[in-house]
Protein backbone atom coordinates (compact mmCIF):
# COMPACT_ATOMS: atom_id res chain seq x y z
CA UNK A 1 0.00 0.00 0.00
CA UNK A 2 2.83 2.41 0.80
CA UNK A 3 4.43 1.65 -2.55
CA UNK A 4 1.18 2.38 -4.34
CA UNK A 5 0.86 5.73 -2.58
CA UNK A 6 4.39 6.70 -3.57
CA UNK A 7 3.83 5.95 -7.24
CA UNK A 8 0.30 7.35 -7.47
CA UNK A 9 1.31 11.01 -7.09
CA UNK A 10 3.94 11.02 -9.87
CA UNK A 11 1.48 9.24 -12.16
CA UNK A 12 -1.19 11.80 -11.31
CA UNK A 13 1.24 14.65 -11.94
CA UNK A 14 2.24 13.18 -15.31
CA UNK A 15 -1.42 12.72 -16.18
CA UNK A 16 -2.25 16.33 -15.39
CA UNK A 17 0.77 17.56 -17.33
CA UNK A 18 -0.23 15.45 -20.33
CA UNK A 19 -3.79 16.78 -20.15
CA UNK A 20 -2.55 20.37 -20.05
CA UNK A 21 -0.33 19.73 -23.07
CA UNK A 22 -3.26 18.23 -24.95
CA UNK A 23 -5.56 21.13 -24.13
CA UNK A 24 -3.04 23.80 -25.10
CA UNK A 25 -2.68 22.16 -28.50
CA UNK A 26 -6.43 21.70 -28.78
CA UNK A 27 -7.16 25.38 -28.05
CA UNK A 28 -4.65 26.42 -30.68
CA UNK A 29 -6.25 24.17 -33.31
CA UNK A 30 -9.79 25.21 -32.35
CA UNK A 31 -8.93 28.91 -32.66
CA UNK A 32 -8.31 28.32 -36.38
CA UNK A 33 -10.55 25.39 -37.32
CA UNK A 34 -13.32 25.80 -34.77
CA UNK A 35 -14.45 23.52 -31.98
CA UNK A 36 -16.45 21.41 -34.41
CA UNK A 37 -13.35 20.92 -36.53
CA UNK A 38 -11.49 19.61 -33.49
CA UNK A 39 -11.75 15.83 -33.30
CA UNK A 40 -10.04 13.27 -31.13
CA UNK A 41 -8.54 11.74 -34.27
CA UNK A 42 -7.07 15.01 -35.51
CA UNK A 43 -5.75 15.89 -32.09
CA UNK A 44 -4.14 12.45 -31.72
CA UNK A 45 -2.41 12.91 -35.08
CA UNK A 46 -1.15 16.40 -34.18
CA UNK A 47 0.21 15.22 -30.84
CA UNK A 48 1.54 11.88 -32.15
CA UNK A 49 -0.35 9.88 -29.55
CA UNK A 50 -2.98 7.17 -29.83
CA UNK A 51 -6.65 8.00 -30.12
CA UNK A 52 -7.31 5.55 -27.28
CA UNK A 53 -4.87 7.55 -25.16
CA UNK A 54 -7.00 10.64 -25.69
CA UNK A 55 -10.12 8.75 -24.70
CA UNK A 56 -8.49 8.23 -21.30
CA UNK A 57 -8.65 12.01 -20.83
CA UNK A 58 -11.82 12.88 -22.74
CA UNK A 59 -14.62 10.37 -23.10
CA UNK A 60 -16.43 12.22 -25.91
CA UNK A 61 -16.07 15.06 -28.39
CA UNK A 62 -18.37 17.22 -26.26
CA UNK A 63 -16.25 16.63 -23.17
CA UNK A 64 -13.17 17.61 -25.17
CA UNK A 65 -14.89 20.79 -26.40
CA UNK A 66 -15.96 21.78 -22.88
CA UNK A 67 -12.44 21.18 -21.58
CA UNK A 68 -11.02 23.32 -24.39
CA UNK A 69 -13.43 26.15 -23.54
CA UNK A 70 -12.31 25.98 -19.91
CA UNK A 71 -8.65 26.02 -20.93
CA UNK A 72 -9.32 29.06 -23.12
CA UNK A 73 -11.03 30.75 -20.16
CA UNK A 74 -7.98 30.22 -17.95
CA UNK A 75 -5.72 31.72 -20.61
CA UNK A 76 -8.06 34.69 -21.08
CA UNK A 77 -8.07 35.38 -17.34
CA UNK A 78 -4.27 35.15 -17.24
CA UNK A 79 -3.66 37.42 -20.25
CA UNK A 80 -6.53 39.91 -20.05
CA UNK A 81 -8.16 40.11 -16.63
CA UNK A 82 -5.41 39.46 -14.08
CA UNK A 83 -2.97 42.13 -15.39
CA UNK A 84 -5.73 44.75 -14.96
CA UNK A 85 -6.56 43.66 -11.42
CA UNK A 86 -4.71 46.47 -9.65
CA UNK A 87 -6.06 49.21 -11.93
CA UNK A 88 -9.12 51.23 -10.95
CA UNK A 89 -11.58 53.55 -12.64
CA UNK A 90 -11.12 54.35 -16.29
CA UNK A 91 -7.56 53.02 -16.17
CA UNK A 92 -8.98 49.56 -15.60
CA UNK A 93 -11.14 49.83 -18.70
CA UNK A 94 -8.16 50.95 -20.77
CA UNK A 95 -6.07 48.12 -19.33
CA UNK A 96 -8.75 45.52 -20.13
CA UNK A 97 -8.77 46.54 -23.77
CA UNK A 98 -5.05 47.01 -24.19
CA UNK A 99 -4.67 43.49 -22.80
CA UNK A 100 -7.51 42.07 -24.91
CA UNK A 101 -6.20 43.52 -28.16
CA UNK A 102 -2.70 42.19 -27.46
CA UNK A 103 -4.15 38.79 -26.57
CA UNK A 104 -6.29 38.66 -29.71
CA UNK A 105 -3.68 39.95 -32.16
CA UNK A 106 -2.27 36.46 -32.86
CA UNK A 107 0.07 36.63 -29.87
CA UNK A 108 -1.89 33.98 -27.95
CA UNK A 109 -3.70 31.85 -30.54
CA UNK A 110 -3.04 31.60 -34.30
CA UNK A 111 -6.73 32.18 -34.93
CA UNK A 112 -7.03 35.35 -32.86
CA UNK A 113 -9.54 35.56 -30.02
CA UNK A 114 -10.81 32.08 -29.21
CA UNK A 115 -14.09 33.31 -27.77
CA UNK A 116 -14.91 35.56 -30.71
CA UNK A 117 -14.61 32.59 -33.03
CA UNK A 118 -16.44 30.21 -30.67
CA UNK A 119 -19.28 32.71 -30.18
CA UNK A 120 -19.93 32.88 -33.92
CA UNK A 121 -19.57 29.13 -34.35
CA UNK A 122 -22.01 28.19 -31.56
CA UNK A 123 -24.49 31.07 -31.63
CA UNK A 124 -27.19 28.79 -33.09
CA UNK A 125 -25.98 25.41 -31.79
CA UNK A 126 -27.93 24.33 -28.69
CA UNK A 127 -26.15 22.30 -26.06
CA UNK A 128 -23.70 22.39 -23.19
CA UNK A 129 -20.86 23.95 -25.17
CA UNK A 130 -23.00 26.88 -26.30
CA UNK A 131 -24.35 27.32 -22.78
CA UNK A 132 -20.84 27.54 -21.38
CA UNK A 133 -19.71 30.05 -24.02
CA UNK A 134 -22.80 32.19 -23.39
CA UNK A 135 -22.14 32.12 -19.64
CA UNK A 136 -18.51 33.19 -20.01
CA UNK A 137 -19.25 35.95 -22.53
CA UNK A 138 -21.97 37.35 -20.28
CA UNK A 139 -19.51 37.37 -17.40
CA UNK A 140 -16.95 39.25 -19.50
CA UNK A 141 -19.41 41.89 -20.71
CA UNK A 142 -20.75 42.19 -17.17
CA UNK A 143 -17.21 42.80 -15.95
CA UNK A 144 -16.81 45.60 -18.51
CA UNK A 145 -20.09 47.15 -17.43
CA UNK A 146 -19.09 46.92 -13.77
CA UNK A 147 -15.73 48.58 -14.56
CA UNK A 148 -17.60 51.42 -16.30
CA UNK A 149 -19.91 51.87 -13.30
CA UNK A 150 -16.93 51.94 -10.95
CA UNK A 151 -15.25 54.50 -13.20
CA UNK A 152 -18.37 56.65 -12.92
CA UNK A 153 -18.35 56.34 -9.14
CA UNK A 154 -14.70 57.42 -9.14
CA UNK A 155 -15.58 60.48 -11.23
CA UNK A 156 -13.63 59.23 -14.25
CA UNK A 157 -16.62 58.83 -16.57
CA UNK A 158 -19.56 61.18 -17.02
CA UNK A 159 -22.56 60.25 -14.90
CA UNK A 160 -25.03 60.48 -17.80
CA UNK A 161 -23.31 57.67 -19.72
CA UNK A 162 -25.23 54.39 -19.89
CA UNK A 163 -22.66 51.88 -18.60
CA UNK A 164 -24.35 48.93 -20.26
CA UNK A 165 -24.49 50.67 -23.62
CA UNK A 166 -20.88 51.79 -23.26
CA UNK A 167 -19.66 48.24 -22.49
CA UNK A 168 -21.59 46.97 -25.51
CA UNK A 169 -19.92 49.54 -27.77
CA UNK A 170 -16.40 48.72 -26.61
CA UNK A 171 -17.01 44.99 -26.88
CA UNK A 172 -18.41 45.39 -30.39
CA UNK A 173 -15.34 47.32 -31.53
CA UNK A 174 -13.06 44.60 -30.18
CA UNK A 175 -15.09 41.79 -31.76
CA UNK A 176 -15.11 43.69 -35.04
CA UNK A 177 -11.32 43.90 -35.00
CA UNK A 178 -11.00 40.13 -34.68
CA UNK A 179 -13.56 39.61 -37.46
CA UNK A 180 -11.78 42.00 -39.83
CA UNK A 181 -8.41 40.51 -39.01
CA UNK A 182 -9.57 36.97 -39.75
CA UNK A 183 -11.94 37.51 -42.70
CA UNK A 184 -10.06 40.23 -44.56
CA UNK A 185 -6.57 39.37 -43.27
CA UNK A 186 -6.42 43.01 -42.23
CA UNK A 187 -3.10 43.59 -40.51
CA UNK A 188 -4.26 47.01 -39.27
CA UNK A 189 -7.52 45.81 -37.68
CA UNK A 190 -6.32 45.69 -34.08
CA UNK A 191 -4.44 48.99 -34.28
CA UNK A 192 -7.59 50.58 -35.72
CA UNK A 193 -9.73 49.09 -32.95
CA UNK A 194 -7.27 50.24 -30.30
CA UNK A 195 -7.50 53.83 -31.51
CA UNK A 196 -11.31 53.66 -31.73
CA UNK A 197 -11.70 52.17 -28.24
CA UNK A 198 -9.35 54.64 -26.57
CA UNK A 199 -11.03 57.55 -28.39
CA UNK A 200 -14.43 56.32 -27.22
CA UNK A 201 -13.19 56.10 -23.64
CA UNK A 202 -11.79 59.62 -23.90
CA UNK A 203 -15.13 60.88 -25.24
CA UNK A 204 -16.98 59.77 -22.11
CA UNK A 205 -14.25 60.72 -19.65
CA UNK A 206 -14.42 63.88 -17.60
CA UNK A 207 -11.98 66.60 -18.68
CA UNK A 208 -10.04 66.24 -15.44
CA UNK A 209 -9.52 62.50 -16.15
CA UNK A 210 -8.29 63.22 -19.69
CA UNK A 211 -5.53 65.42 -18.35
CA UNK A 212 -4.22 62.74 -16.00
Distances (CA, A) of 99 to 17, 44, 83, 193, 201: 27, 32, 8, 13, 15
Q: What confidence score (pLDDT) does residue 207 get? A: 55
Q: What confidence score (pLDDT) does residue 59 get? A: 84
Blockwise average pLDDT, block size 10, the chain, 212 residues: 40 59 93 91 88 84 94 96 93 93 85 92 96 97 95 94 96 94 93 95 75 48
Q: What confidence score (pLDDT) does residue 108 get? A: 87
Q: What confidence score (pLDDT) does residue 17 get? A: 59
Please provide the average confidence, as pLDDT, over all residues in the chain.
Answer: 87
Tens digits of residue pLDDT in 25-35: 999 999 999 99
Contact 116, 178 (CB under 8 A): yes
Domains, in order of start, for the chain: 2-207 (1.10.357.10)
Q: What confidence score (pLDDT) does residue 53 get? A: 80
Q: What do you get for the CA distance between the two ends of the chain, in Å?
A: 65
Amino acid sequence: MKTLRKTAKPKLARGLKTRDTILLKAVSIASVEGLEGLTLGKLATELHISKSGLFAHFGSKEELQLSVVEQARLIFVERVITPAHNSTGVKRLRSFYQNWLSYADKSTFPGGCFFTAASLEFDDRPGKVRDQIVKLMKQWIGMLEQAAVQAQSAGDIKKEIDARQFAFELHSLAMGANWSSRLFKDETAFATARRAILQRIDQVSDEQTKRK
